[in-house]
A and B are shown apart, each in its own frame.
Chain A
Amino acid sequence: MDWTAVVLSLRLALVVATALLVIALPLAYWITFSRWRGKFLVEAIVALPLVLPPTVLGFYVLVGIGSRSPVGRLWERWTGHGLAFTFEALVLASILYSLPFAVQPIAAAFAQLDASLLEASATLGATRWRTFTRIILPLSLQGVIAGAVLSFAHTIGEFGVVLMVGGNLPGVTRTISISVYDQVQSLQYGAANATALALLAFSFAVLAVVYALMRRPWSVAALP
């Protein structure tokens, strides 16, 4: 088993899932509650990674962070080295790639809330922030957990984007899915099987925990 790849994948998924929570919560809030007419455009952009081939997304990320792009040049001036084929590039690409997996469950949970609860909060003098932290977030916890776990699991499992943006550098960009691919290419079926089986067991365990957690008492008793 390629433990370096396992650790790298876990580290990548953790960073990406955390970053996505920070990005997806306000984005999902805006998508759910904004009354802007052009909102559907933003929704379409967020959903793009669901339908784009990973190679297409990976290609544009690569172009976008390359040493000829403004982002790539800025990064080089800051850090002294290029952004492509680094762990940071993987994080950036993975955030884009997993964005819908974080935003959609959270936005769906927000949209399911009884609007009168939010109005009741307002008539009781609460600011939007207080309504968000005291009412919206606790009552949408299932969706938020689902969003975080799905983006974590989806990042663990991604392949095409990683290959395009990160390449195959051991300890830097060779994630667990690339490692399985490598092992199969070099005819090490035993090792590939061990890694693949571990990934399968891990994914199942995570999803099982999430579904178990989602049985909250007040989701069953519902509202009066």
Chain B
Amino acid sequence: MSAGLSAAIRARLSDAFTLDVAISVPAGVTILFGASGSGKSTVLRAVAGLLRPDAGSITIGTRVVFDRSARLDVPARQRHIGYVFQHLALFPHLSIEENLAYGLRDEPEEERRRRIREIASSFRIDRLLARRPSAISGGERQRAALARSLVTDPSALLLDEPLSALDHATQLRIIDDLRRWNAAHNIPVLCVTHSHREVFALGDRVIVLDNGRVVAAGTPHDVLEMPEQASLAQLAGFENVIQATVVARKADAGTMVCRLMDTTVELEVPLARGATGSLIRIAIRAGDILLATEPPRGLSARNILRGRLVSLTRDGAAMVAAVEAGARFVVHLTPSAADSLGLALGQDVWLVIKTYSCRIAA
């Protein structure tokens, strides 16, 4: 197992924004996740040597490439880190082959050809080598950019949202090729994204940034399925984040009862930190809420809230309903379900929410 990458850095980018993170990235794919403006790209740029932090240190493998206190700052060109830019940054005036060869100037001709052939076949761009970047498709450009950054055998790979412009199927194929390549090379790969779908597709581990700080780290499941922060919950696709007060703790039942802010509406949620009377936030996925047009009976679900349908819109293949029930709830349902219920704006509806569909985001 080759060594990983670690960075503990602080960088003040403006009066309002300071990046202050300590991350450790072992070999394999780690996702750097967060909303735009959370500092993800800044971390990548600092690691690559494109931005100088105000304090801290960066180590790649066993090599220290930045140490402010020792006044060490290895320039980007000597860090030997692969970097795939958001817009790929393929050189437009060079062919794909010349792009791949760009980082290999010190190798003898023979070796250079061999490595280009090898990486081109790993990333399925063998037949495109003579073309210019403008003459190939978006997915192919993506592959070319990955190949260009990996052909030099870097000691780490940084990806700055390179897949966001592609359709899901193309993304998955490229990710497969990257995984296959890395199974043989086993370098730390740090990939920035703001899409939670990519987190599950790509990452062995995820580090979550919010406003310049690391707020969570772990496996995608642990971090995104059990968010401890409201911002993280919304990032991870919990459409409903609702403020509530703890009114009773039922330790033996493993639940607690919470009252939605400024209402008498109560929700039973899993027992978590938070004393009686304290303020918490409850995160619920829109797809985890059932919608009924009559008061449901004989259900195991503990929470049945009466509300009023205030809007119903179509979003791609799903219908999105907004229901006012003490708080504004967003509910996803299929168009056929919406049809058969015969929903009309303003009508009374009931929301059914299982206790364990409620996550507590402190």
Residues of A within 8 A of B77 (CB): 122-127
Given contacts A119-B50, A224-B141, contact A126 B102 (CB under 8 A): yes
A121 interface residue per 8 A CB criterion: yes
Report whether A139 and B92 are in contact in the complex, using a CB–CB cutoff of 8 Å.
Answer: yes
Residues of A within 8 A of B86 (CB): 116
Report whether B50 and A122 are in contact in the complex, using a CB–CB cutoff of 8 Å.
Answer: yes
Q: Which of these, A116, A124, A224, contacts B152 with CB under 8 Å? A: A124
CB distance from A130 to the nearest CB of B (A): 8
The proximity string for A residues 98-121 relative to B, scoring 1 for CB distances below 8 Å and 0 otherwise, is 000000000000000010110111
Residues of B within 8 A of A138 (CB): 93
A218 interface residue per 8 A CB criterion: yes
Q: CA of A130 to CA of B106 in the docked complex: distance in angstroms?
A: 13
Residues of B within 8 A of A114 (CB): 87, 89
**Interface of A (DSSP majority class):** helix
* Chain B, residue nearest A127 (CB): B77
Report whether B76 and A122 are in contact in the complex, using a CB–CB cutoff of 8 Å.
Answer: yes
Residues of B within 8 A of A126 (CB): 77, 102-103, 105
B138 interface residue per 8 A CB criterion: yes
Report whether A139 and B93 are in contact in the complex, using a CB–CB cutoff of 8 Å.
Answer: yes
Give residues of chain B (18-55) contacting chain A, Cβ–Cβ below 8 Å.
48-50
Report whether B75 and A116 are in contact in the complex, using a CB–CB cutoff of 8 Å.
Answer: no
Report whether B50 and A222 are in contact in the complex, using a CB–CB cutoff of 8 Å.
Answer: no
Report whether B134 and A224 are in contact in the complex, using a CB–CB cutoff of 8 Å.
Answer: yes
A-B interface contact total, Cβ < 8 Å:
82
CB distance from A121 to the nearest CB of B (A): 7
CB distance from B109 to the nearest CB of A (A): 17
Report whether B102 and A121 are in contact in the complex, using a CB–CB cutoff of 8 Å.
Answer: yes
Residues of A within 8 A of B50 (CB): 119, 122-123
Report whether B87 and A218 are in contact in the complex, using a CB–CB cutoff of 8 Å.
Answer: no
B185 interface residue per 8 A CB criterion: no
A39 interface residue per 8 A CB criterion: no
Report whether B91 and A117 are in contact in the complex, using a CB–CB cutoff of 8 Å.
Answer: yes
Report whether A125 and B78 are in contact in the complex, using a CB–CB cutoff of 8 Å.
Answer: yes
Given contacts A124-B152, A218-B93, A218-B132, contact A119 B87 (CB under 8 A): no
Q: How large is the interface on B (under 10, 10 to 19, 20 to 34, 35 or more residues)?
A: 20 to 34
* Chain A, residue nearest B81 (CB): A123
Residues of A within 8 A of B103 (CB): 124-126
A134 interface residue per 8 A CB criterion: yes
Residues of A within 8 A of B134 (CB): 218, 221-224
The proximity string for B residues 53-87 relative to A, scoring 1 for CB distances below 8 Å and 0 otherwise, is 00000000000000000000001111111110111
Given contacts A119-B76, A123-B76, contact A224 B148 (CB under 8 A): no
Report whether B78 and A224 are in contact in the complex, using a CB–CB cutoff of 8 Å.
Answer: no
Q: Which of these, B49, B80, B138, contacts A224 with CB under 8 Å? A: B138
Q: CA of A154 to CA of B87 in the docked complex: distance in angstroms?
A: 39
Q: CA of A117 to CA of B87 in the docked complex: distance in angstroms?
A: 10
Given contacts A122-B75, A125-B78, contact A221 B102 (CB under 8 A): no
B309 interface residue per 8 A CB criterion: no
Residues of A within 8 A of B91 (CB): 117, 120-121, 134-135
Q: CA of A223 to CA of B91 in the docked complex: distance in angstroms?
A: 9
Q: CA of A124 to CA of B50 in the docked complex: distance in angstroms?
A: 12
The proximity string for A residues 127-142 relative to B, scoring 1 for CB distances below 8 Å and 0 otherwise, is 1001000110011000
Q: CA of A119 to CA of B85 in the docked complex: distance in angstroms?
A: 9
Residues of A within 8 A of B89 (CB): 114, 116-117, 119-120
Give the interface centre of A120, A134, A223 by most chain B CB atoms within 10 Å: A120
Report whether A116 and B102 are in contact in the complex, using a CB–CB cutoff of 8 Å.
Answer: no
CB distance from B104 to the nearest CB of A (A): 9
Residues of A within 8 A of B132 (CB): 218, 221
A-B contact pairs, 7 of them (CB 8 A): A120-B90, A122-B76, A123-B48, A218-B93, A223-B92, A223-B133, A224-B138
Q: Which residues of B contact A (CB under 8 A)?
A: 48-50, 75-83, 85-93, 102-103, 105, 132-135, 138, 141, 148-149, 152
- Known: A116-B86, A218-B93; 19 extra A-B contacts, CB below 8 A, are A114-B87, A116-B89, A120-B89, A120-B90, A122-B75, A122-B76, A123-B48, A123-B82, A125-B105, A125-B152, A127-B77, A134-B91, A134-B102, A138-B93, A218-B92, A222-B134, A223-B92, A223-B133, A223-B134
Closest 7 CB pairs between A and B? A221-B134, A124-B103, A120-B89, A116-B89, A122-B76, A123-B83, A116-B85
